[in-house]
Chains A and B, each alone.
Chain A
Amino acid sequence: MNLFKKITTGALALTLSVGLVGSAFAATGDVAVEVIPIANNGNVLTVAISQLTDLGDYQYSLTDQPTSPGLLKIDAADYRGTADGWKVTLSGTDFIPVLFTVDNLGLTAGTVRTISTSALPSEAAPVSSSAADVMLAPGSTVLTAPTGTGAGIYQADYQVDLNIPGGTLVGQYTSTLTVTISGNTP
């Protein structure tokens, strides 16, 4: 990947986004709004969960069952070219169809890899499992790039542990994780 090209493109995109306002219209939502160009990767922060290994199948049990550890990967990228820092937070919904809380999900911080020469972002303290009622709801910071770091592409690994509460009925359970990235904050 040619990062020089990306940075140059990002700068050009900023110029264009200011200069071409009003050049086109499109119906979006319920109102007509002006469409402006946004360059691919132009000065943008991105984040995504790129992988989460399956935690397996388990027999019905009247006692709590810890699952085998899973691997969760979060990718974050900062193409803004300013190294002004960013942070990634993670939250989750309770499991359905029969509610058991997302607090039964625990994350343990692992390694962070990068192809950037900028200093590695720091990982937040591991999110603990169980008794973690304040951790994934409303959310916890899982990856932080302080000011002066974080330019480029990063991937962080986390070990995922899930405790299946005793008496959880037979079924296939799902949860939606929300991964959020923010740039500078007050």
Chain B
Amino acid sequence: MQHRKHILTVLLLGMLLIGTLVPSTAASQTPSASDTATPAADAGPQFVLRPIDGQDGGYFTVEAKPGTTTELVAVLGNAGTEPIDLRTFSSDAVVLVNGGFGVKEEEEERTGPTTWIDWPAETFTFEPGQGIERSFTVTVPEDAEPGQYIAGISLQTAEPIAIEGSTMFNQIIRKAVAVFIIVEGETTTSYELGEPQILTSTGGSRLEVPVVNTGDVLVKPMGTVTLTNADGDEVFSADVAMGSVYARMDTVLAIPLDNSLAGQEYELSLELVDEASGVTATVGPQQILFSGDIPEEAPVQISQAAVVPMPDANDPVYANVDLTIANTGDAISNANVMLHVYSDGELVEDFALGTNMNLANGDTQISQRYIPAEGFSSGEWTFSISIESMTAQTNATTVVVDQLLPDTITIP
């Protein structure tokens, strides 16, 4: 039997590369629309923060021995057409949810490698087209252990600015770059996974697993997470690819879950590997409760179904498949309707009855002729239907229906 299966690909970060600063040619930049309405122009102030030998938004790299000082130069400036007040400061780096570089606020305590950086906070007023080169030092303490360290430098609008259409919110626009410090010496790659939990909310719940980098170098864990129900059915599966989890820092792996899974206990299995080092970490298999009410009847159902062998029930060549899909909820776009065919309980094939369909509120009829690729053979043939909807932005596929059909074809 084809079990209900949720597939989610968590695409996260992964932008490594110190590019050489070579502007591209115009050939690849011909403006054209790739979606519906196109933005006429970008909004907001335009300002620069970059290493002097790097590109805007790029990061600084320092390779140093303990007790040494390295001097670096940054470029800050106004690339816009209006004067602008910009505030710059250094702050601790943080690992964002699911990995990746983030920075703390200016008023938060500066610790660790941030204190090695001599970057005084300051506010500048830049006229259009004006910038500066700002020198700073990174001093690695004598007692610094080998390995990687990271801190952040930010340049942002000195004061919050308005957001069009909103009186409730204003915004600070920030550019943040990393200062990546590598202290020479032997390093260790290791990380651990903490106790998982499922956090529930009406908008959508999620599985959270703490990830702690216990080593000296960054890791980028990737792998697979699965949830299996009490019947042994794998009801959720997701490929996971985290961004950087930096040395000595921690974050959480957060994976959205469909609330249709709520109200049951599952067996959780999570296996991750850092490809660069080959270091693995696992959770489970272990039981985990997805608390919450069992959802009401699903809005999408197969209300009528028939699989009729033709032309002779004892020696069929093909089968007529007729379905009525009843949707009492919102329209579902990008739906794939699959017929799963089994012979004596073994999966024969998955046959597409419809792809990229729009299942509007109400009934949708499907009539298809099914011919097995290898023809019908003796045995008991059974069928199930699954309907999957895909969310383009997240590459997440959710099975909204997985239903065994009552009709069976028995061939002597």
Contact = CB atoms under 8 A, between A and B. Distances in A.
Interface of A: 1, 3-4, 7-8, 10-11, 14, 17, 21, 26, 28-30, 33-55, 75-77, 80-87, 89, 92, 106, 108-118, 120, 122-126, 128-132, 134-135, 138-141, 144-147, 151-155, 161, 172-186
Nearest to A86: B57
Given A48-B43, A153-B42, A82 B28 contact: no
Nearest to B148: A186
Given A50-B164, A87-B100, A120-B34, A40 B174 contact: no
B34 A7 contact: no
Nearest to A4: B26
Contacts of B195: none
B203 A161 contact: yes
B41 A153 contact: yes
Contacts of A86: 15, 57
Nearest to B252: A134
Nearest to A122: B11
Nearest to B94: A138
B303 interface: no
Contact of B170 (A38, A75, A151, A174): A174
A49 to B, nearest CB: 5
10 contacts: A1-B41, A33-B132, A36-B77, A44-B79, A47-B173, A75-B44, A112-B393, A144-B15, A179-B174, A181-B175
Nearest to B104: A138
A46 B44 contact: yes
B318 interface: no
Going nearest first, the 5 A-B pairs with the smallest beta carbon separation are A48-B44, A183-B57, A38-B77, A4-B26, A77-B42
B176 to A, nearest CB: 5
B30 interface: yes
Contacts of A81: 23-24, 29
A185 B101 contact: yes
B202 A130 contact: yes
Given A51-B164, A52-B166, A177-B172, A185 B15 contact: yes
A9 to B, nearest CB: 10
B18 interface: yes
B9 to A, nearest CB: 10
Nearest to A9: B23
B81 A40 contact: yes
B48 interface: yes
A182 B55 contact: no
B191 to A, nearest CB: 16
Contact of B394 (A34, A53, A109): A109
B394 A43 contact: no
Contacts of A106: 203
Contacts of A26: 130
Interface string B317-330: 00000000000000
Residue among A92, A106, A174, A180 facing the most chain B CB atoms (10 A cut-off): A180
Given A33-B134, A52-B163, A113-B33, 11 more contacts: A46-B42, A52-B168, A84-B55, A87-B100, A89-B96, A109-B393, A110-B393, A117-B31, A175-B168, A186-B150, A186-B178
B68 interface: no
A60 B323 CA distance: 49
Interface stretch (B121-129, B332-340, B347-355): B121-129
B256 interface: yes
Nearest to A159: B203
Interface string B166-187: 1111111111111010000000
B38 A113 contact: yes
B206 interface: yes
Interface in B274-304: none
B13 A141 contact: yes
B254 interface: yes
Contacts of A114: 33-35, 38-39
